[in-house]
């Protein structure tokens, strides 16, 4: 079973919400957080709220705005009225600064064991976000990205493996 929610909503009053923040110390250690929220009626079994917080370490940073990083963090997924699951998260990311004010980036994460919730057993998630960043001035960035969040679990009643996806384009 594969569920997909297209988050590309051309209306200004879209009910999907994404927030992202990152802070780097000495261009070596970083703290990254992201919140992705969808209306409960737009998802069936996939989480409607996804919160991720990572501490990251830059492995390579040839220039100040380009880098590769790995991290360890925490992820919480809220499944509407059914409750929430949270657990350890491994992350990796990178950014390549292009000439001018544009960068290309990718952020990935894997939560291998979020335990059980209701009939969902052995829940794990994978998320990938990639896109362009335009930074016209310090501390202001505009993003155009594609995000994919996969939730895998075993249905305890049937014993079948299930896979649910929320994905779509992000602008902001």
What number of other Cβ atoms are within 10 A of residue 158's Cβ?
Answer: 9
> Sign of the CA dihedral 73, 40, 82, 152?
negative
What does the alpha-carbon distance between residue 98 and residue 47 come to, in Å, rounded to a whole number?
Answer: 35
What number of other Cβ atoms are within 10 A of residue 76's Cβ?
Answer: 18
| C-alpha Rg value of the chain to the nearest Å | 17
Give the max Cα distance, the chain: 55
Read off the pLDDT of each residue in 124-139 and give the average, rounded to a whole number: 92
What are 21-73's pLDDT values in tens digits?
Answer: 889 898 899 999 998 877 666 556 566 778 999 999 999 887 778 999 999 99
List 39's β-bridge partners, or say none: none
Closest CA relative to residue 80, chosen from 12, 19, 138, 166: 166
What are 88-121's pLDDT values in tens digits?
Answer: 999 999 999 998 899 999 999 999 999 888 888 9
pTM of the model: 0.81
Terminal alpha carbon distance of the chain? 31
List 20's β-bridge partners, or say none: 34
What does the alpha-carbon distance between residue 124 and residue 116 come to, in Å, rounded to a whole number?
Answer: 10
In the chain, domain spans: 17-171
What are 79-95's pLDDT values in tens digits?
Answer: 877 888 899 999 999 99
């Amino acid at each position: 079973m594969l569920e997909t929610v297209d988050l590309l909503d051309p209306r200004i009053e879209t009910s999907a919400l994404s927030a992202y923040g990152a802070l780097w110390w000495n261009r070596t250690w970083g703290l990254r957080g992201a919140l992705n929220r969808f209306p409960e009626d737009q998802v069936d079994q996939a989480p409607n709220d996804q919160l991720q917080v990572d501490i990251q370490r830059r492995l390579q940073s040839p220039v100040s705005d380009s880098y590769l990083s790995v991290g360890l963090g925490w992820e919480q997924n809220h499944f509407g009225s059914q409750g929430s699951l949270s657990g350890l998260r491994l992350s990796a990311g990178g950014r390549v600064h292009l000439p001018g004010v544009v960068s290309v980036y990718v952020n990935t994460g894997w939560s291998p064991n979020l335990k059980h919730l209701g009939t969902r057993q052995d829940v794990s998630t994978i998320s990938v976000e990639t896109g362009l960043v335009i930074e016209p001035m310090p501390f202001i960035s505009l993003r155009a990205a594609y995000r994919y969040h996969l939730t895998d679990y075993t249905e305890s009643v049937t014993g079948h493996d299930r896979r649910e996806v929320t994905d779509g384009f992000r602008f902001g």
